[in-house]
C-alpha cells in the first residue's frame, strides 16, 4: 500500500487478510484499499469474489461507516483490468458466463451500499477496473499523465462483462459508450471529466482529500455532461436509438468485415439494456461474454496478448544485460529519419541528433516531429510545454559535431551498400569504440554492411516499418559477428522507443519482407491473369488484412518493392522472381502515391472517398479484367504463398520461434490478428491439409506453390509450428 499512509491517528482497525484492506477512520469515512500481493498492478481475480463480498457485508453492517473510498494500494495505478489467465482457464461458455454473473453481482452489491462510495483513481483504470469504478457512486481522478480510463476488452475479442455495457452508457451516453467499447479507446482525465465519466479531476497531492470531502458531503451523483440537442434527439427516443444502433452496426461491419464477433455483441448488449430492460441487458452481457471467451477469435487475440507480454520481459540475449543508452543519433533526415527521431524523443525520452547532408533535410525531420506533436496539443493529449520539452531533445547537424558521446547511431540513408559502408566508417571515426551502428535497411544483408568495419561486433540491423510513429514492429538483425551485448542493447533501445522487437537472422529480406514478397508477387500474377485490381484488394481486406496488396504497393512505392525482389531472387531462388507487371509500371512512371501516379487514382483525377482504380493500367499491362476466381480463391493463393514461406523461415531459424514470427507478421504487415499469425493459421489448418491444398495449387498454377520440405515433414510427423 505504497501510496496510502496507514499510520494515521484516526485508524481504528485494519483487516489485512486478503487483497482488500478496510481502514476505518474516526470521521466516519472508511478506506477500502485494494493491493494484490506479489503483483506490480492490481488485476481482478475470481478468488476475490468471496473476499470482497465479505468486506462489503462488514461495511453494510457497520453503522459507524458513513462513507467509503475505494483506493488502490499500488502507486500510480488503480486497476489494470481482469486477470486474463482467469479467462484462459474457462473450458466452456457456461463457465465464462458464470464468471461474468459473479462480477455483476459483486459490483451490484457495491453499488447498492446505502452510504456514498467514491473511487479514487490515480493511473490506469481499465477494463474490469473501470467497471469496478463505475459501480461506485462517484469517481475522482488525478491529473497524472498516466491516468487513463477505458474498456479495451474488444482488443481481446471480448466485451466488458461486469456490467460495463450497461453502466457506461448511463454515464457518458450511448454514442460515447459505443465509441469507447467498440474501439478500446482510453480517455485521459480531462476527457473523462468532459464525458461525465468522473466527477472531478485534481492534482495527485489533493486526490484523497478531495475524494474524502465528496464522500462526507454525500453529493455523489454522477457528473453532469454536456448533451447536445442532436444527442438528446437521438438517444432520448426509440427511433433515434434505432438509428444509432443501425449506424454502429454498419460502421463495425465496414471495418471488421464480420471477422470479429465482439463488436456486434457489444452493440447488442447496449441495445438490450436501452430498448428492453437493464435486467435483460445484464443477462445478454453475461451470455455474450461467455460465448466470446471460448470463441476462436478471442483465443488467438489472447494468445497474442500473452506473447507480447512475455516478450516485454525478455532480453535480446538471455543472461546478457543491455548497456544503458543515454544519447542517440540518426543519419538521414528523410521520413524514416524523422520518424526515428520522433519516437526516440517522445517515447524513449532520449536526446537525439540528426545528421543530414543539408539543412533542408534537418528541417524536414524537425517539422515531421513538430507536426505530430502539434496535433497532440490541439487534441489536448499533451500540454504545449510538454511539446516544447520533447522537441528540445531533437537537434540537427550537417557534420559529425555532437557525435562524440553518442551510444547508438541509427542509419536511415538510401539503400546503397557502398553509402552504408561509408556511414559505418564515418561513425567509427567520429564516435566511441563502443558506439553501436544500427542500419535501418529493409533488404541489404547486415554482414555486407559490416564487411569493412573495424568493429563489426558493433554493427546490427534495426529495421523499422513506415510510418515509424505508428508501426509497432522493429526487426533486430544480427550478422554472424554482432556481439551479444550489441543485440541486447539494441533490443532494449527499441523497446524504449515503444517498439515490439523481434530478433531475426541476417538473410535476404530478413523475415517480414521475405514472407511479404511472395504474397505481393502472387497478387501481381493474379492481375496479369485478368483479376480486377479492386477485387484482389477487396478479397484480402475481407480476409482480414488492413489494406489489399495493390493498395499497399501504391502506399509503399512500386519502385521500393521492385528493388527488393532481385535481392531475394539472387539469394533465395526463382520463386521470388517479380512478375513483369512491376517493370512495366515503373517504366510508365507509376511509382505509387508519392508521385500521385500508380495503380489507383490520386489528386484531381480521383473523385469521392472510395479509392478508384486507374483503369488505364489494364491497357498498359495488356490484360482484360474478367474476374474468374472467387474472393476466397484469390485470398487463398496469396496467403498460402506467405504461409509456405513463413514455414521455410522457421525451419531456417530466420525467426527464433513461431511466436516471434506471428508477432512479426501481425505488427509488421497487418496479418489478421484474429487468425493469430501465419504459424497459428498453419496449425489451425493442419500441416496435412495445407500440404494437400498447396500440391493442388501447384498442379493448377505452377511449382511456386510446391510445399516446402519443412511443411511436408510436419505433415508426415503430425507435428505443429507451436510444438
Residue 244 has pLDDT above 80, yes or no: yes
Is residue 321 domain-resident? Answer: no
List of residues 6+ apart from 128 with CB closer than 8 A: 43, 44, 79, 81, 82, 103, 160, 161, 162
Element at 232 (helix H, strand E): helix 229-235
Q: What is the mean pLDDT of residues 78-107?
A: 92
Q: What pTM value is reported for the model?
A: 0.91
Residues 214 and 178 in one domain: yes
Q: pLDDT for 393-411, tens place per residue?
A: 999 999 999 999 999 999 9
What is the phi/psi pair of residue 506, to 5°? -85, 85
Residues 618 and 535 in one domain: yes
Is residue 647 domain-resident? Answer: yes
Residues 562 and 695 in one domain: yes
Q: What is the mean pLDDT of residues 587-595?
A: 89
Residues 337 and 273 in one domain: no
Q: How confident is the model at residue 204 (pLDDT cuts 50, 70, 90)?
A: very high
Answer for the pair 435, 455: CB distance below 8 angstroms, yes or no: no
In 3D space, the residue among 385, 332, 383 whose CA is nearest the CA of residue 361 turns out to be 332
**Domains: count for the chain:** 3
Q: How confident is the model at residue 535 (pLDDT cuts 50, 70, 90)?
A: very high
Domain stops at, among 476, 505, 534: 505
Residues 581 and 642 in one domain: yes
Residues 80 and 225 in one domain: yes
Residue 230 has pLDDT above 80, yes or no: no
Residue 657 has a CB neighbour count (10 Å cut-off) of: 14
Is residue 281 domain-resident? Answer: yes
Residues 465 and 552 in one domain: no
Q: Which SS3 state, helix, strand or coil, does residue 597 take?
A: strand
Q: pLDDT for 602-620, tens place per residue?
A: 887 666 678 899 999 999 9
Options 153, 212, 285, 475, the catalytic residue: 475
Q: pLDDT for 349-372, tens place per residue?
A: 999 999 999 999 999 999 999 999
Residues 550 and 651 in one domain: yes
The CATH number of whichever domain residue 397 belongs to comes to 3.40.50.720
Residues 112 and 223 in one domain: yes
pLDDT, greater one: 618 or 87? 618
The CATH number of whichever domain residue 63 belongs to comes to 3.90.226.10
Q: Is 555 a catalytic residue?
A: no
Rounded Cα gap, residues 204 and 65, in angstroms: 25
Domain stops at, among 505, 535, 567: 505
Is residue 81 domain-resident? Answer: yes
Share of the chain above pLDDT 70, in %: 97
The CATH number of whichever domain residue 571 belongs to comes to 1.10.1040.50
Range of the domain at 207: 11-293
Residues 146 and 188 in one domain: yes
Helix 658-669 to helix 296-313 angle (10° resolution) is 100
Is residue 155 domain-resident? Answer: yes
Is residue 47 domain-resident? Answer: yes
Residues 491 and 530 in one domain: no
Residues 151 and 272 in one domain: yes
Amino acid at each position: 500500500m505504497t501510496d496510502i499512509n496507514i499510520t494515521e491517528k484516526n485508524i481504528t482497525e485494519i483487516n489485512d487478510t486478503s487483497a482488500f484492506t478496510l481502514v476505518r477512520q474516526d470521521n466516519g469515512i472508511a478506506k477500502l484499499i485494494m493491493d494484490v500481493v506479489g503483483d506490480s498492478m492490481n488485476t481482478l481475480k475470481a478468488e476475490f469474489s468471496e473476499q470482497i463480498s465479505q468486506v462489503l457485508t462488514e461495511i453494510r453492517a457497520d453503522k459507524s461507516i458513513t462513507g467509503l473510498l475505494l483506493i488502490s494500494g499500488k502507486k500510480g495505478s488503480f486497476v489494470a483490468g481482469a486477470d486474463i489467465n482467469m479467462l484462459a482457464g474457462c473450458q466452456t461458455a457456461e463457465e465464462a458466463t458464470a464468471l461474468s454473473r459473479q462480477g455483476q453481482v459483486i459490483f451490484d452489491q457495491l453499488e447498492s451500499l446505502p452510504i456514498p462510495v467514491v473511487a479514487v483513481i490515480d493511473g490506469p483504470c481499465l477494463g474490469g477496473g473501470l467497471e469496478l469504478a463505475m459501480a461506485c457512486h462517484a469517481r475522482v481522478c488525478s491529473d497524472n499523465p498516466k491516468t487513463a480510463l477505458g474498456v479495451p476488452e474488444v482488443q481481446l475479442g471480448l466485451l466488458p462483462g461486469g456490467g460495463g455495457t450497461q453502466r457506461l452508457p448511463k454515464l457518458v451516453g450511448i454514442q460515447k459508450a459505443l465509441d469507447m467499447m467498440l474501439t478500446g479507446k482510453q480517455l485521459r482525465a480531462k476527457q473523462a471529466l468532459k464525458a461525465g465519466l468522473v466527477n472531478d479531476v485534481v492534482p495527485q497531492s489533493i486526490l484523497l482529500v478531495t475524494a474524502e470531502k465528496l464522500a462526507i458531503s454525500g453529493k455523489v451523483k454522477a457528473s453532469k455532461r454536456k448533451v447536445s440537442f442532436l444527442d438528446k434527439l437521438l438517444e432520448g427516443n426509440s427511433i433515434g436509438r434505432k438509428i444509432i444502433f443501425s449506424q454502429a452496426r454498419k460502421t463495425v461491419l465496414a471495418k471488421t468485415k464480420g471477422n470479429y464477433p465482439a463488436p456486434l455483441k457489444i452493440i447488442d448488449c447496449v441495445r438490450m439494456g436501452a430498448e428492453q430492460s437493464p435486467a435483460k441487458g445484464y443477462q445478454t452481457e453475461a451470455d455474450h461474454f461467455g460465448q466470446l471467451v471460448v470463441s476462436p477469435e478471442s483465443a488467438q487475440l489472447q494468445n497474442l496478448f500473452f506473447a507480447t507480454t512475455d516478450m516485454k520481459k525478455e532480453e535480446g540475449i538471455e543472461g546478457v544485460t543491455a548497456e544503458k543508452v543515454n544519447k542517440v543519433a540518426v543519419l538521414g533526415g528523410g521520413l524514416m529519419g524523422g520518424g526515428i527521431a520522433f519516437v526516440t524523443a517522445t517515447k524513449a525520452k532520449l536526446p537525439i541528433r540528426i545528421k543530414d547532408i543539408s539543412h533542408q533535410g534537418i528541417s524536414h525531420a524537425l517539422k515531421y516531429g513538430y507536426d505530430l506533436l502539434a496535433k497532440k496539443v490541439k487534441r489536448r493529449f499533451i500540454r504545449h510545454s510538454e511539446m516544447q520539452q520533447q522537441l528540445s531533445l531533437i537537434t540537427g547537424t550537417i557534420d559529425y559535431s555532437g557525435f562524440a558521446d553518442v551510444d547508438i547511431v541509427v542509419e536511415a540513408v538510401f539503400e546503397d551498400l557502398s553509402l552504408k559502408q561509408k556511414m559505418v566508417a564515418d561513425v567509427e571515426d567520429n564516435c566511441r569504440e563502443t558506439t553501436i551502428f544500427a542500419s535501418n535497411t529493409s533488404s541489404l544483408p547486415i554482414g555486407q554492411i559490416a564487411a569493412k568495419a573495424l568493429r563489426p561486433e558493433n554493427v546490427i540491423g534495426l529495421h523499422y516499418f513506415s510510418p515509424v510513429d505508428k508501426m509497432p514492429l522493429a526487426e533486430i538483425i544480427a550478422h554472424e559477428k554482432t556481439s551479444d551485448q550489441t543485440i541486447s542493447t539494441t533490443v532494449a533501445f527499441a523497446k524504449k522507443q515503444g517498439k515490439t522487437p523481434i530478433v531475426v537472422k541476417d538473410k535476404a529480406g530478413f523475415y517480414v519482407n521475405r514472407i511479404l514478397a511472395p504474397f505481393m508477387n502472387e497478387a501481381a500474377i493474379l492481375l496479369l491473369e485478368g483479376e480486377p485490381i479492386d477485387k484482389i484488394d477487396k478479397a484480402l481486406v475481407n480476409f482480414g488484412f488492413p489494406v489489399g496488396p495493390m493498395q499497399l504497393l501504391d502506399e509503399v512505392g512500386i519502385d521500393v518493392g521492385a528493388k527488393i525482389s532481385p535481392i531475394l531472387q539472387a539469394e533465395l531462388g526463382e520463386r521470388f522472381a517479380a512478375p513483369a507487371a512491376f517493370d512495366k509500371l515503373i517504366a510508365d512512371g507509376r511509382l505509387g502515391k508519392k508521385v500521385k501516379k500508380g495503380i489507383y487514382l490520386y489528386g484531381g483525377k480521383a473523385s469521392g472517398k472510395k479509392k478508384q482504380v486507374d483503369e488505364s493500367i489494364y491497357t498498359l499491362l495488356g490484360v482484360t479484367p474478367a474476374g474468374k476466381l472467387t474472393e476466397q480463391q484469390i485470398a487463398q493463393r496469396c496467403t498460402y504463398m506467405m504461409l509456405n514461406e513463413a514455414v521455410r523461415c522457421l525451419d531456417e531459424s530466420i525467426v527464433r520461434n513461431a511466436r516471434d514470427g506471428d508477432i512479426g507478421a501481425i505488427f509488421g504487415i497487418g496479418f489478421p490478428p484474429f487468425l493469430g499469425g501465419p504459424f497459428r493459421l498453419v496449425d489451425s489448418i493442419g500441416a496435412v491439409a495445407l500440404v494437400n491444398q498447396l500440391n493442388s495449387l501447384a498442379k493448377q498454377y505452377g511449382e511456386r506453390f510446391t510445399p516446402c520440405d519443412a511443411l511436408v515433414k510436419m505433415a508426415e510427423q503430425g507435428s505443429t509450428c507451436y510444438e
